[in-house]
């Protein structure tokens, strides 16, 4: 067993929880950048000394902070993600926030991707120091059609940037209010990949795009297997198929299959976890009936098991955002989720039991984890 | 050179200084001078399309400015203000 670091991005700064080697005791570190809105923190799986953080404050423009010593010290990117200057007959966009970070392919050790609001895709070739727009997406002729006009009250998001481990040029992204899109040529061109996904909020439900994936994941050991937690259900896709299957139909009817995050087992592509939320009437987005639970599938979505041991049995109205749940890579997989109420919950036994390992944090936007880095 | 008063959220760029000087005869030039001295500061206030960000306000002396081509004289003070909002 190895010590783990759980990185916590919050509305008011960045924190980290460091465990002992048994994941028994956790020490809270931080805050770093107190007062900054931290949307995502990713420790580079290719080089654990490198950590990137997507940040802004309430007033200032967005940026990315970088660490080269495992999070001890930070420096701002010299050139944060920024769209190009508009031509005279264009309505120019600007990045409102950097929302998502993904480390690039293992063959491209210094490459990173960033997703923004409004929807934008950016790439860095130097460990996040300088960022360039991916013109194939940002300037695509169908950009406005794909990304919609304004999106949700929180703004349209580009998230779930996925890199096929077999092919650095094979990418997927998720757009809130747009759907899943795929590129086979390093981002130069894109096609929608939304067949089979429901879009109950659209007048015409059978559209090629306009869907609302909340979180899309790809299994690292079986990259033809994707899952998504969508605004309208839980889905699985096995390439080269193009039609998603709604595996959320096998969730209990009184729970449904609405939620934000979906998390994969690091080595078993048939195992995934979701954190269902109430999506009825005005969409409270809280634990169903105030009884939080994680649901696990061991058979690629054919069936689901409720996991709530240790979670509050009632009057616990949790919201877990799309980036706020993750799994570690230990043999007995650990799971972690953070709530908008500022709690971090952990399981050291693949969800069979849970305990709260941090309280009283600010609103949590992001939970990611990695092996603890010792410089 | 005009004096520039820096709102607290931006002082991480000015090494904690609440007031600095910058050269230029327009707001745009002063901002460029600030960027040269304190790399990264401009983008936190001005977006890619040269628009002042939503929650930033610029004042020359007591007058609000929204046009970066507005003139500024050596004896003027440019105030970089973060709007009163948050939570």
Task: Report CA torsion sign: B16, B17, B18, B24.
Answer: negative
Contact A60 B85 (CB under 8 A): no
pTM value is 0.96
Q: What is the pLDDT of residue A151?
A: 65
Indicate the residue of B45, B48, B85 with minimum beta-carbon distance to A83.
B48
Contact A92 B49 (CB under 8 A): yes
Residue A313: CB atoms within 10 Å: 10
pLDDT in tens, A14-73: 999 999 999 999 999 999 999 999 999 999 999 999 999 999 988 899 999 999 999 999
Question: What average pLDDT does range B32-42 have in this prediction?
Answer: 98
User: What whole-number distance in Å separates Cα of residue A227 and Cα of residue A246?
Assistant: 10
Indicate the residue of A61, A80, A92 with minimum beta-carbon distance to B53.
A61
Distance from the B74 Cα atom to the nearest Cα atom in chain A, whole angstroms:
27
Decide if A92 touches B, using CB distance below 8 A: yes
What is the chain A residue with the closest CA to B86?
A58
The confidence band for A279, taking pLDDT boundaries of 50, 70 and 90, is confident
* A197 has pLDDT over 90: yes
User: What whole-number distance in Å separates Cα of residue A232 and Cα of residue A210?
Assistant: 12
pLDDT more than 70, % of chain A: 98
Decide if A95 touches B, using CB distance below 8 A: yes
What is the chain B residue with the closest CA to A91?
B49
Max Cα separation, chain A?
60
Q: What is the pLDDT of residue A206?
A: 84
Contact A78 B40 (CB under 8 A): yes
pLDDT in tens, A161-196: 999 999 999 999 999 989 999 999 999 999 999 999
Q: What is the pLDDT of residue A155?
A: 84
Average pLDDT over all residues of chain A: 95
DSSP code for A145? H
User: What whole-number distance in Å separates Cα of residue A308 and Cα of residue A275?
Assistant: 10
The confidence band for A149, taking pLDDT boundaries of 50, 70 and 90, is low
Decide if A88 touches B, using CB distance below 8 A: no
List, as ranges, residues 17-36 from B with C-beta within 8 Å of A.
Answer: none
């Amino acid at each position: 067993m190895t010590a783990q670091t759980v990185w916590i991005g919050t509305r008011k700064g960045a924190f980290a929880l460091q465990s002992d080697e048994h994941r028994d005791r956790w020490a809270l570190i931080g805050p770093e950048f107190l007062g900054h809105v931290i949307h995502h923190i990713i420790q580079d799986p290719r080089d654990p000394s490198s950590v990137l953080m997507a940040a802004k404050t309430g007033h200032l423009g967005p940026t990315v902070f970088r660490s080269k010593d495992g999070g001890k010290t930070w420096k701002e990117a010299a050139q944060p993600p920024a769209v190009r200057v508009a031509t005279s007959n264009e309505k120019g966009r600007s990045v409102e926030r950097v929302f998502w970070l993904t480390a690039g392919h293992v063959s491209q050790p210094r490459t990173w991707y960033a997703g923004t609001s409004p929807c934008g895709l950016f790439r860095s070739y130097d460990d996040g120091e300088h960022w360039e727009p991916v013109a194939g997406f940002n300037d695509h002729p169908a950009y406005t059609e794909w990304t919609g006009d304004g999106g949700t009250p929180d703004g349209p998001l580009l998230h779930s940037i996925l890199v096929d481990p077999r092919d650095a040029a094979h990418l997927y992204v998720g757009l809130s209010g747009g759907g899943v899109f795929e590129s086979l040529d390093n981002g130069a061109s894109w096609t929608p990949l939304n067949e089979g996904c429901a879009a109950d909020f659209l007048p015409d439900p059978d559209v090629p795009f306009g869907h609302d994936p909340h979180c899309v994941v790809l299994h690292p050991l079986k990259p033809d297997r994707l899952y998504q937690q969508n605004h309208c259900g839980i889905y699985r896709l096995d390439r080269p198929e193009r039609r998603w299957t709604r595996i959320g139909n096998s969730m209990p009817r009184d729970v449904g299959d609405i939620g934000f995050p979906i998390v994969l087992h690091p080595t078993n592509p048939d195992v995934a976890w979701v954190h269902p939320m109430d999506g009825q009437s005005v969409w409270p987005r809280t634990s169903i009936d105030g009884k939080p639970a994680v649901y696990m599938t061991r058979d690629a979505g054919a069936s689901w098991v409720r996991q709530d041991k240790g979670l509050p049995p009632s009057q616990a109205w949790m919201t877990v955002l799309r980036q706020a749940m993750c799994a570690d890579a230990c043999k007995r997989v650990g799971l972690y989720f953070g709530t908008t109420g500022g709690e971090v919950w952990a399981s050291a036994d693949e969800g069979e039991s849970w305990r709260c390992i941090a309280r009283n944090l600010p609103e949590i936007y992001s939970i990611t984890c990695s092996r603890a880095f010792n410089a | 050179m005009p004096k520039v008063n820096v709102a607290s959220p931006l002082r991480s760029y000015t090494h904690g200084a609440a007031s600095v000087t910058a050269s230029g005869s327009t707001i745009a030039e002063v901002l460029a001078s600030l960027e040269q001295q304190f790399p990264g500061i401009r983008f936190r206030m001005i977006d890619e399309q040269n628009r002042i960000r939503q929650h930033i306000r610029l004042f020359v002396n007591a007058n609000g400015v929204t046009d970066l081509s507005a003139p500024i004289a050596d004896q003027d003070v440019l105030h970089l203000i973060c709007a009163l909002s948050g939570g």
